[in-house]
């Protein structure tokens, strides 16, 4: 479409003297008019009925010499309202494009502290998995430890990572700078976040002082008073809480969270009608506000309207839908305001009603234990903590920062609760990986039988510590304790690959657990790849042909495995003189079987390689005409990106066509590319958005492989062999480096 709005969409295109016109409306319109003009001349006017299921299209001849910018298409309702129109305009393109975004310099290469701060801020705003904004902030603090902006932004990050003590220290440094000489700063962001850090550490009086200082700034007036109101609720001082929440609402009147707290405060003060009315008003704005529904129910019951209260509660239960996180979110809202009775009542319902999953979810019982302890009921607290430790662990993954205090409370109640350490480690791993590792190690000490704990430790030992042997040992313990988890085999084999484990060890992993491995496509594919590395092409291709694979985003790699299998088996047939079988395999490599769920791309990067091998098979069969046809296909295939394996096969095809000069250029490009990639400090695209796709060793192996191909194309077999050996040494799973090396060894 060339133009679209809430009413309709329009398309208009001019080719030669024929204008193609189309409209589609979002609602039904009878007796609407379609109008096409060229300048002042009416070309088409037609009365139509149009709607979502009745689009309009037409092709109209226009006067010779009409330019597209002369045309105007309009759709007009029966009430003479223009629903949509479109007229192309002449665009004056500036030939000078704006400067492209550049990767930021290394922190130590940036001269000004402000630029360091702004660079870090940009990296915070526009996430880059390869650059850490903290590096820029820390460099700024290295030069000026008291810089208020940098201390504040880092402290905000520390608060989000539950590193409250570190946040407090940095915020006090920032405040020392901005409040020097008894200055009351206009920007009170540091005071507000200091209040949050102190509150999280249980220092409520100091937190209140910081929040009051933050109210001086309009930007933090409402959130600071909101926090003060919750602190007053915790103390049971609902009169002060009402005053504070009113202050908060005075500068953010539509904050439904604050309105919910106000409704709860009014209810606690016995002003039930006002509380009920506020809850009703919130629900007109957000019919899915769970706390407002709960307050409406409590308000109706407090007014003696039992039936209405029960109806409101039933409506809440229906909209909560048995979703455990919805119950927890509502309970946490009450818990943050110190309304322990309400929080307990919310979470007691899924337990009492024995709701599937929600009723047996460990965090529900951990929270109930915590809320009961805050309410002074140690007996029920201990009972729920004990129940939590016995609940199913499946799919329990706490993520709220509030859960940190809850789980620490559970650990204080029972220091031998291995699962509480495990859950807390799950929560903290992304925020404080070393603390998470320590917690999982404590969990392992308490209960060595938990496979998932060993798995998580294996993951962390590799991802955070880079310790492959330690990670492998932990994963092997996980597999020994739970042989039915197919994902474990995928992750363990990835570690085997990263550590260049012997092929026999990898084969044994899959062969001894095949029935489990086949239950997951990703694990099954790893088994197929390992079989291929072992030269067991018949088995691997049989698995690929007789199973359906479901490819997810980023998972199209399966087709490369399919191509590798057919090409490698075809090469084996070719060397054995079985030319027809080789040709059959090479042709199969050009297919995209439906069961692999991968579609043919516009530019197939493997096509030159496949076409070259088909040509060699025809050549072996004596069919020079077909061989020439496929050599031509190989060189004619467009290949995107820089020098790649496809270029090598195009170069070989050019050699077959007698164009050695063109081939040599391609081989030289491969050599230069490999040398450059090895010389660069990092071969990673800094603007890539999905993290590390390969290990550093695998990237180096690819560079050595490119070098080897270049040398091989130039006829320098000794140099090529050296590069292939280096590639295999770095990445034992580089199937083509292994194949090339085996071929050269036989020469």
pLDDT in tens, 577-612: 999 999 999 999 999 999 999 998 888 889 999 999
Q: For the chain, what percent of residues have pLDDT higher than 90?
A: 88
Domain boundaries along the sequence of the chain: 3-86, 162-253, 539-562+570-639, 641-683+697-747
pLDDT class of 695 with cuts at 50, 70, 90: confident
Residue whose C-alpha is closest to residue 191's, from 153, 224, 157: 224
Mean pLDDT of 514-543: 96
Residue with tokens 């474990």: 488
Which are the contacts of 211, defined by CB distance < 8 A and separation ≥ 6? 191, 192, 195, 224, 225, 227, 228, 231
Give the mean model confidence (pLDDT) for residues 490-511. Answer: 95
* For range 54-75, the mean pLDDT: 95
634 close to 611: Cβ distance less than 8 angstroms:
yes
Q: Which 3-state string (H, E, C) describes 197-225? A: HHHHCCCHHHHHHHHHHHCCCHHHHHHHH
pLDDT at 681: 54
Q: What would the pLDDT profile of 100-124 be if each residue is shown by its tens digit?
A: 888 899 999 999 999 999 999 999 9
Question: What is the per-residue pLDDT for 641?
Answer: 65
Directed axis angle between helix 306-320 and helix 324-336, to 10°? 120
Angle between helices 660-679 and 696-713 (to 10 degrees): 150
**Binning pLDDT at 50, 70 and 90, where does residue 683 land?**
very low
CB 267 within 8 A of CB 299: yes
Count CB-CB contacts under 10 A for residue 139. Answer: 20
Between the CA atoms of 369, 373, 377 and 379, what dihedral angle is there, to the nearest 10 degrees? 50
Fold of 641-683+697-747: 1.25.40
Average pLDDT over residues 447-458: 98
Tokens of 479: 């597999």
Q: Which residue has the tokens 């405060």?
A: 265
Q: Whole-angstrom Cα distance, residue 163 to residue 160? A: 8
Q: Is the pLDDT score of 554 beyond 70?
A: no
User: Do the beta carbons of residue 51 and residue 25 sit within 8 Å?
Assistant: yes
> What is the Cα–Cα distance from 187 to 185, expressed in whole angstroms?
5
Q: Over the chain, what is the mean pLDDT? A: 94
Q: What is the mean pLDDT of residues 419-437?
A: 98
Tokens (6 digits) for 18: 């024929």
pTM: 0.86
Q: What Rg do the C-alpha atoms of the chain give, in angstroms?
A: 34
Query: Mean pLDDT over residues 3-19, rounded?
Result: 95
Q: Burial of 51 by CB count in 10 Å (0-12 exposed, 13-18 middle, 19+ buried)?
A: middle
Say what the pLDDT of residue 392 is: 94
Backbone angles phi, psi at 15, to 5 degrees: -130, 120
612: nearest Cα among 653, 566, 562:
653
Write down the number of H helices and E strands in the chain.
Answer: 35, 8
37-51, 94-108, 510-524: least confidently modelled range: 94-108
Q: CATH top-level class for 162-253? A: mainly alpha
Answer yes or no: is pLDDT of 688 > 80. Answer: no
- Is the pLDDT at 42 greater than 70, yes or no? yes
How confident is the model at residue 359, as a pLDDT? Answer: 87
- Which sign does the torsion angle of CA 613, 619, 625, 631 carry? positive
Closest CA to 332 of 392, 405, 256: 405
The alpha carbon torsion through 394, 403, 346, 234 (nearest 10 deg) reads 170
Going by pLDDT thresholds of 50, 70 and 90, the confidence category of residue 169 is very high
CA dist., res. 177 & res. 158, Å (int): 19
In this predicted structure, the answer to whether residue 74 has a pLDDT above a threshold of 70 is: yes
* CA angle (307, 308, 313) in 5-degree steps: 95
* Residue 643: Cβ within 10 Å count: 22
d(CA 555, CA 690): 13
Characterize the bridge pairing of strands 3-4 and 56-61.
Answer: unpaired
Whole-angstrom distance, CA of residue 490 vs CA of residue 459: 12
The CATH classification number of 3-86 equals: 2.60.40.10
Fold adopted by 539-562+570-639: 1.25.40
Average pLDDT estimate for 268-292: 97
Tokens 């310790």 correspond to 467
SS3 for 247-258 is HHHHCCCCCHHH
Residue 405 has a CB neighbour count (10 Å cut-off) of 16
CA distance 109 to 116: 10
Asked if residue 323 has pLDDT above 80, the reply is yes
Dist. CA 310–CA 313, nearest whole Å: 5
How would you class 106 by CB atoms within 10 Å of its CB: exposed for 0-12, middle for 13-18, buried for 19 or more? exposed
Query: Which of 60-64, 355-359, 385-389 is the least confident region?
Result: 355-359
Share of the chain above pLDDT 70, in %: 97
Q: Same CATH fold, 539-562+570-639 and 3-86?
A: no
Nearest Cα neighbor of 241 from 342, 371, 335, 337 is 337
């Amino acid at each position: 479409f060339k133009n679209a709005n809430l009413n309709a969409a329009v398309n208009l295109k001019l080719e030669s003297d024929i204008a193609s016109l189309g409209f589609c409306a979002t609602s039904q319109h009878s007796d609407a008019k379609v109008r096409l003009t060229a300048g002042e001349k009416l070309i088409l006017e037609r009365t139509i009925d149009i709607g979502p299921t009745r689009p309009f299209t037409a092709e109209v001849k226009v006067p010779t010499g009409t330019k597209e910018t002369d045309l105007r298409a309009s759709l007009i309702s029966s009430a003479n309202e223009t629903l949509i129109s479109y007229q192309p305009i002449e665009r004056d393109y500036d030939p000078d494009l704006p400067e492209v975004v550049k990767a930021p310099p290394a922190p130590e290469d940036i001269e000004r502290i402000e630029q360091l701060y702004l660079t870090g801020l940009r990296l915070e705003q526009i996430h880059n998995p390869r650059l850490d904004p903290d590096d820029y902030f820390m460099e700024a603090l290295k030069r000026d430890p008291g810089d208020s902006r940098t201390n504040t932004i880092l402290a905000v990050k520390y608060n989000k990572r539950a590193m409250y003590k570190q946040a407090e220290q940095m915020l006090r440094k920032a405040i020392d700078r901005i409040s020097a000489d008894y200055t009351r700063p206009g920007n009170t962001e540091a005071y507000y976040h200091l209040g949050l850090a102190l509150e999280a550490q249980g220092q409520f009086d100091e937190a209140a002082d910081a929040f009051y200082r933050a109210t001086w700034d309009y930007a933090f007036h409402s959130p600071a008073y909101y926090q003060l109101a919750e602190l007053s609720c915790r103390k049971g001082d609902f009169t002060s809480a009402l005053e504070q929440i009113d202050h908060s609402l005075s500068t953010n009147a539509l904050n439904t969270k604050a309105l919910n707290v106000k409704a709860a405060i009014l209810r606690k003060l016995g002003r039930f009608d006002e509380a009920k009315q506020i809850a009703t008003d919130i629900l007109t704005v957000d019919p899915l506000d769970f706390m407002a529904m709960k307050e409406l129910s409590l308000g109706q019951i407090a007014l003696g309207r039992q039936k209405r209260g029960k109806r409101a509660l039933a409506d809440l239960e229906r909209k909560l839908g048995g979703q455990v996180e919805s119950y927890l979110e509502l309970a946490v809202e009450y818990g943050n305001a110190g309304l322990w009775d309400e929080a307990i009542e919310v979470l007691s319902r899924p337990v009492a009603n024995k709701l599937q999953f929600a009723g047996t979810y460990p965090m529900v019982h951990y929270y109930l234990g915590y809320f009961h302890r805050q309410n002074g009921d140690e007996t029920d607290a201990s009972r729920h903590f004990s129940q939590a430790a016995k609940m199913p662990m499946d799919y329990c993954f706490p993520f709220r920062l509030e859960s940190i205090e809850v789980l620490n409370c559970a650990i204080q109640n029972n220091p031998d609760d291995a699962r509480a350490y495990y859950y807390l480690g799950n929560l903290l791993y992304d925020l404080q990986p070393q603390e998470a590792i320590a917690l999982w190690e404590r969990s392992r000490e308490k209960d060595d039988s938990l496979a998932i704990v060993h798995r998580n430790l294996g993951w962390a030992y590799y991802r955070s510590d880079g310790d492959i042997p330690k990670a492998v040992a932990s994963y092997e313990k996980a597999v020994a304790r739970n042989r039915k988890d197919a994902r474990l085999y995928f992750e363990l084999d990835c570690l085997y690959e990263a550590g260049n484990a012997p092929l026999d060890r990898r084969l044994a992993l899959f062969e001894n657990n095949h029935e489990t491995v086949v239950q997951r496509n990703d694990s099954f594919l790893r088994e197929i790849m390992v079989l291929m590395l072992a030269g067991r092409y018949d088995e691997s291709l049989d698995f690929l042909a007789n199973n359906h694979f479901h490819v997810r985003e980023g998972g199209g790699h399966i087709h490369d495995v399919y191509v590798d299998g057919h090409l490698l088996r075809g090469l084996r047939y070719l060397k054995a003189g079985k030319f027809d079988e080789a040709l059959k395999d090479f042709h199969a490599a050009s297919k995209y079987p439906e069961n692999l769920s991968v579609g043919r791309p516009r530019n197939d990067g493997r096509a030159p390689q496949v076409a070259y091998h088909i040509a060699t098979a025809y050549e072996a069969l004596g069919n020079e005409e077909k061989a020439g046809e496929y050599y031509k296909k190989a060189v004619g295939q467009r290949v995107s990106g820089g020098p790649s394996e496809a270029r090598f096969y195009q170069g070989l095809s050019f050699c077959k066509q007698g164009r050695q000069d063109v081939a040599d250029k391609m081989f030289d490009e491969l050599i230069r590319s490999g040398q450059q990639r090895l010389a660069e400090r990092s071969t990673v695209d800094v603007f890539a958005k999905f993290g590390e796709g390969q290990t550093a060793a695998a990237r180096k192996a690819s560079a050595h492989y490119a070098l080897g191909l270049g040398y091989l194309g130039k006829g320098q077999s000794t140099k090529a062999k050296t590069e292939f050996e280096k590639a295999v040494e770095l990445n034992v799973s580089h199937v083509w480096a292994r194949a090339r090396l085996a071929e050269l060894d036989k020469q």
